[in-house]
Each structure stands twice: as structure tokens, then as C-alpha cells.
Amino acid sequence: MKEKTSLKVRVQKLGTALSNMVMPNIPILIAWGVLTMFFIPDGFTPNSTFAAMVGPMLVFLIPVMIGYTGGKNIYDHRGGVVGAIATATTTMGGLNENGNVPMILGAMILGPLGAWLIKKFDQVVQPHIKAGLEMLINNFSAGLVGFGISLFAVKVVGPLVAALTDIMGQGVDFLVSNHLIPLANVFIEPAKILFLNNAINQGILTPLGIQQASEQGKSLLFLLEANPGPGLGILIAFWLFGKGSAKATAPGAIIIQFIGGIHEIYFPYVMMKPALFFAVIAGGVSGTLTNNFLGAGLQAPASPGSIIAITGMASGKAAGGLGNILSVWAGILVAAGVSFLVASFILKRDKSMVDDSALEEAQANVSEAKAVAKGQVAPSHEAVDFSAVKHVIFACDAGMGSSAMGASILRNKVNKAGLPQDVTNIAIANLKAGPDTIVVTQEELAARAGTMSPDAIRYSVSNFLNSPKYDEIISRLSQTQASEPSESEPVTLTNSPTVEEEIDLNQIDEVVFAHDGEHIGSVTMGKETLGAIFKMNGIQLPISDVEFLGLAAFNAANIMIVTTEEFTHRAKRVAPNAQYLEVESLITTPRYDQLVARLNKL
């Protein structure tokens, strides 16, 4: 059982990695889709000048940005640069030799690969670099590694990806022409609910869909996962035939799922009754079959999978205009109708659905039993000290949809209770939390949350929108708050600790330079200066930089954040639990030497 869980977590991580490359660049895909919709010869308003941007965006900008993002996720900006070099050269190879094949798959391979290579190079070489030569060697090494991998990319990866894309494209054409593509939903619909879909969608469907849309003006592949029909049918069935809280929350969930495009909202409803997997599969297959027969498709990915976004991506003249919109809507309606009929049949025959609250208790007991069997049980909340809790983080796969809704609900409860804790949401891939943080995830992601934040107080819920555990969290935090000094009691405030008094490098695991995105030059020099001092004194600590908005991921006592005096207050609002080294100048400050001198005295 443990092996299966491990495999599942690995697939989730792969899907998250692919999603983290594609999702930040969805705006580029949307911009490209709008350009094609209006300005190509078959568009609403043909314009040869503007249409000239369509090709370069598809075959160059989109792959390079995906390659950069993939590299950045592995090794920050340095990894992103090497990944972009490798992807750009492969793209040019595709232009010259591979028939203008968009190197989306190549970017997903080369971006992380280039970043991994430069990361390993740095780990081997940097400890031996002489003081003062860091910037020279860092710049040349990244350029030379990028040069080397670009040659490999053009001669090996480019032709290989072009051939692979051609084979998969022919396979998709065969499935579409023989009306077999709906069978994909047999795998996609359950994968969505188990958070395993990103590996399929971002790794296969999106790249092939972009290729198909560039050739045919639209692609059915963009609808395979985005179709909101199956989830809509499930929610309507619960609205009409459900019991208790499931019935009460279904109407609001319909708006969030169908109009807002947050599909995760219906996942708990299916998990409550596993037989409903048959309903979403039947709905997905029926909807795709309808779209396949009618020749429906989208010009670009619809993200989120909202009826509004889907309609916008279906309305282009090259895609078929009004006729295509009606075909897409027909597929959604059929999917919703079939899903509703199957779900209604299951719910009406299910005599166990007498009390939803009892069902939720049973689910919690089952989840705990499964966790015990898998060795993934979080510490009992009864034995946990909540007095140090300052933050609550909701973590989901993408960190945008369902977790944002859950965070909003709990944030309102926290505000009404007059509690000081902040409530935020984040992608689970970026989760970093210590004992001062409560982490709330879906049950399916509990195992990953445990590995990424073992010291945090962890809660897993079946439904982000309606969980009794929210009230438990508020109750525990309120009890702690009641035992703390009231506002009328004197409270001693302390200034930021001085280097000589507080910061002990033995307790620090990482040094982060915080910046606003504009003063990156001084930050780079500051990193080089501190790195040289650390090296001369035999101190091995990773040094990185991040913009202020990203500091939430470093909000822990084992992180030392270096910032100038004018920005310290701004940084502390985002990461109040970190230790701070406040300096007048990131480059010439004497406090770096004082920091090391204190370490030598200990």
C-alpha cells in the first residue's frame, strides 16, 4: 500500500511540475488565441501586420517562456536563463529543419534539464572558486553550459521531439477521425478528481492541442479536461436529490464551478460516493463524443475551465464562429445531462444518504484509518500547542482555485472571531511551513503536505467549502488567544535584533536577499560579497534572492532575510517569522563580517 501511495505522490509531483511550467504562461496562450481570432486571414478583422505576430509567438515566445519557467522552478533565475537558451536554440532548429513544429514538449524537457545541469555544475565548482572571481565564473559557466546544451538540443532533442509530436499528432488525428477520442475521458475524469490530471493535460493535451490549433484553427483536445459539463451534472444532482450540507452547498458550488471555472469544487461530492465516478466518466465520454461528431474545438486553452472562458476561445471566425460555439455548448449540455442522469440514479438508490453530517464523520474516520495504514498520520491536534500559530495556509495543486475559496471562508471566520492570524493560499509545490503555521489541504494531498511541511500543524479536509474542521481551528486558536494578555495589559515591544545579540548562523539553513524587482544589481553584488565572506570562513549556506511577494515561502525562523533599512518593514509584513539582517548597503555593509565574527565567538 505504501508503494502505491508513493507512486501516486510521484505522479502528482510530475503533474505539478508540468503545470508549474505551463500555468504561469497561460496568459501568453490566451493572447496568441485572441490574435488568431481577430487578425489571421480567416479572423474577424484580418490584418497582415498584426497577423505576422502569430507565428513567432507560437514557435518562439511560448516555448522559450515555458523553458525559462521550467528552469526557474528548478534553479531560480540562473536555471531559467540556461533553460531559455536551450529552448530558444531548439526552437530555431525547429524553424529550420522540423517544419515550424512548436517545441512545447522540447521546452518542458530542456528547461528543467538545463537548470539541473547548471545547478549540478555550481555544486561541484563553486566551493573551489577564488574570492573575487565569482561573478566572472558564474556568468561564463552559465553561458557555456547553455551553449553546450543548445548544440545537443538542436541535433538531438529538436528532431526527436518533432518526430514524437508528429507520431502523437497522427495518433490523435486517427482517434478523432474514427470517433475514438472520447475514450480518453475514461482516464481523464477520474484523474482530475485524484489530482493526477496535470501530467496528462499539461504534458500531452496542451502541446498537441496548440500544434493542432495552429494547423486547423481549433482543437478538440482543449475541451477534454476543461468541459465543465460532468461536474455540473453532479452538482445539480446533489442539489435536487442530495441530503444535508451536500444539498445546501450545491447551488453555490454550481456557480463557482460553471461560471468561475474552479472544477475542484465538485471533487469532494464525487469522493463522498465513489459510484459517482461512473457519472463523471459517462458525462465526459458523452460530451467529448458530441463535440467530436459536431467538429467542435477551441482556439487556445481555456483557463480556468469556465463557460465564459470556453465560449471566448470557441468564438473565433477561424474556429467556426457561432456554429462552433453552439457545438461546444452542445457538448457541455450533453455531458451535464448524462452526468446528471447517472448521478441522480445513484443518489436516489443510495439509502445510506440519510444524514450528511454522519457521512462526513464516517469519511473522517475512513481517512484517518487510511492514514494509519499508510504511516502518514499527522500528530494529534489535541497534543499540539496552538499558542505559537501565526499563519494559516491553504495548499492545493495549483494554489489558485479551490484553496483560494477555502482561504476566503476561513479568513472571514478568523476576522469575525477577532483573531490575529493571517490566512493565505499557495500551490503545494511552493509550500514551506514551520510549527507556527497551520496547513490545510485536501485529503488527497495530505501525504505531500506531510513531506513538504513535517513540522507544521496539518489539517486535511474533504471539501474546502464546507468543513467542520474550520470551526475546530477557530476554537483552538480562540482558546489560545483568550490565555494571552489583553490589550489593556502592558506588552513589551522589542526592536529588530542586532547582529551581535540575536542571529546565530548555526540556526540558519538559508540566506535570502529580499528585493522589489528593480534593485536586482545591488542584490546580486550583495550575494556575491556575502558568499565570498562565507567561503573565506568555511561557511556553507545557500544564498538566494526573491521579490517581496515571494517571501511568504521563506517565513520560518531558520531563514535569514537580508534587506536594506527602507525595505525591512515591507518584508516583515510578508515573512514576520524569519530572522532579519538589516543593512544600510547590501554591498559595503560591515554587518556581514560582524555576523561571521559572532559565529566564531560561539
Residue 45 buriedness (CB in 10 A; 0-12 / 13-18 / 19+): exposed
Question: Residue 423 has which C-alpha cell?
Answer: 490566512
Of 318, 310, 320, whose CA–CA distance to 39 is shortest?
318
Closest CA to 228 of 325, 309, 347: 309
CB 115 within 8 A of CB 82: yes
Number of neighbouring beta carbons within 10 Å of residue 405 = 21
Q: What are the φ/ψ torsions at residue 424 (nearest 5 degrees)? A: -130, 175
Coil, strand or helix at 495 = coil
Q: Residue 17 and residue 251: Cα distance in Å, rounded? A: 33
CA 306 from centroid of its chain's CA atoms: 18
State the Cα–Cα distance between residues 548 and 536, nearest whole angstrom: 29
Q: Is 219 helix (H, G, I), strand (E, B) or coil?
A: strand
| Length of the chain (residues) | 602
* Active site annotation includes 491: no
DSSP 429-487: GG----TTEEEEEEGGGHHHHHHH-TTSEEEEES-TTS-THHHHHHHHHHHHHHTSPPT
Contact criterion met (CB below 8 Å) for 504 and 539: no
Show Cβ contacts of residue 563 under 8 Å, excluding neighbours closer than 6 positions.
513, 514, 515, 571, 580, 581, 582, 583
Number of Cβ within a 10 Å radius of residue 273: 20
On whether the CB atoms of residues 394 and 410 are closer than 8 A, the answer is yes
Q: Which of 88, 208, 234, 396 is catalytic?
A: 396
In this structure, what C-alpha cell is assigned to residue 592? 556581514
Q: Which residues are catalytic?
A: 396
